[in-house]
Amino acid sequence: MLAGVELGGTKCICTWGTGQDDVRGQEVIATGPPAATLAAIARVLAGWDFRALGIASFGPLELDRASPDFGTILATPKSLWRGTSLLPLAKDMPCIIDTDVNGAALAEGRWGAAQGLHSWAYITVGTGVGVGSVSGGRILRGAGHSEAGHQRIPKLAGDRFGGTCMFHGDCVEGLASGPALAARTGREAALLPSDHPAWNHGAHAIAMLCHNLLLTTLPERIMIGGGVTNGQPQLLAMVRDHLANSLADYGNRGPVDQLVVPPALGARAGWLGPLALAATIIDEPGQRRSLQK
Ligand code: ADP
Ligand code: ZN
């Protein structure tokens, strides 16, 4: 038995089970101030019997085990949560903490559109742009977790929009996130017509991100989810067109409609992510030492 906690900006989903076809319990808790929210989650977990816990959280997170702040939420715009440690949720339980997007990437590998692959990437385009990369079946980690959504890319010729990223301006997130589309057009992204020219800018930025990922972390497939992409089904074809132009057949990677696909789990990837994280503890006892504090 596993337990998973998805920590989101508006709600937290606690799940007890082993996978999408075996859910024994699920509780949704509104995200409020950190102490009260974590206490409510801990009360839910205390009622369940499980062997491993996965926590998938909004980021950024400190995931360097050498750091005294391991398991802490870093410079999030949700300022109350800055500096909050998620470790107390684990108590003495084997536990993996990772970003929501890394959790979703693992869930797609276990139950979704990346089954049977060795290496894949999951991109979410929503309030921000997040990337989870899996290489050889494992989440790609280094000095922390991926921040590939903040990479700098060329813009469409003549584009003078400065972007919305508070750190970089026109990085991918600053050009393709929901708030970026809203800033470019003066209208909420969800209310823009599907043929609005602004979508071409967003699609181009995501295609540049895919180009760079395909040639660096070498995913066999890229899944693109998140509120913006899910709400704008026309975007996927636009991303594929820009990507095909950009790749120019280089690298012999095959047709773009097989390289870039929608996620199979949709909204379920959120709560399945932490279960997939927890499952890695059971699969590979060696992970216990490497990922758990
Ligand atoms: P988050 O990134 O906060 O986890 P989501 O992935 O749901 O959450 O993304 C939220 C973003 O998606 C918001 O910027 C919102 O404007 C945008 N969004 C929601 N629905 C649509 C839609 N139908 N079309 C375009 N953008 C949308
Ligand atoms: Zn940025």
Q: Domains (ranges, CATH) in the chain?
A: 2-100+277-287 (3.30.420.40), 113-261 (3.30.420.40)
Choose which residue among 192, 224, 228, 268 to substitute to test ligand 1 binding: the one with the highest number of ligand atoms within 8 A of its C-beta. Answer: 228
Ligand nearest to C-alpha 227:
1
pLDDT band at 289 (very low <50, low <70, confident <90, very high): very low
Give the residue-averaged pLDDT of 123-137.
96
Distance of CA 228 from the midpoint of ligand 1 (Å): 5
Give the pLDDT of residue 284. Answer: 77
Give the pLDDT of residue 76. Answer: 85
Give the pLDDT of residue 290. Answer: 45
Give the pLDDT of residue 111. Answer: 96
Residue pair 75/58 in contact by the 8 Å Cβ criterion: no
Note the pTM of the prediction, 2 decimals.
Answer: 0.94
Give the pLDDT of residue 144. Answer: 86
Question: Which residue, judged by its Cα, is nearest atom 9 of ligand 1?
Answer: 126
Ligand nearest to C-alpha 273:
1
Choose which residue among 12, 127, 206 to substitute to test ligand 1 binding: the one with the highest number of ligand atoms within 8 A of its C-beta. Answer: 127
Give the pLDDT of residue 124. Answer: 96
Ligand nearest to C-alpha 78:
1
At 150, which amino acid appears? H
Distance of CA 223 from the midpoint of ligand 2 (Å): 21
Q: For 267-280, how does the pLDDT look when each residue is reduced to its tens digit (9 = 90+)?
A: 898 999 999 999 99
Distance of CA 209 from the midpoint of ligand 2 (Å): 12
Q: For 141-180, how does the pLDDT look when each residue is reduced to its tens digit (9 = 90+)?
A: 888 899 999 999 999 999 999 999 999 999 999 999 999 9
Question: Which residue, judged by its Cα, is nearest atom 10 of ligand 1?
Answer: 126
Distance of CA 158 from the midpoint of ligand 2 (Å): 20
pLDDT at 293 over 60: no
Q: Looking at ligand 1, which atom is closest to the CA of residue 188?
A: 16
pLDDT band at 13 (very low <50, low <70, confident <90, very high): very high
pLDDT at 286 over 80: no
Q: For 15-66, how does the pLDDT look when each residue is reduced to its tens digit (9 = 90+)?
A: 999 999 999 999 999 999 999 999 999 999 999 999 999 999 998 999 988 8
Give the pLDDT of residue 9. Answer: 87
Question: Which residue, judged by its Cα, is nearest atom 11 of ligand 1?
Answer: 126
Give the pLDDT of residue 197. Answer: 98
| Contact residues of ligand 1, CB 6 A cut-off | 9, 124, 126-128, 178-179, 188-190, 226-228, 231-232
Q: For 91-121, how does the pLDDT look when each residue is reduced to its tens digit (9 = 90+)?
A: 889 999 999 999 999 999 999 999 999 999 9
Mean pLDDT score of the chain: 94
Give the pLDDT of residue 285. Answer: 65
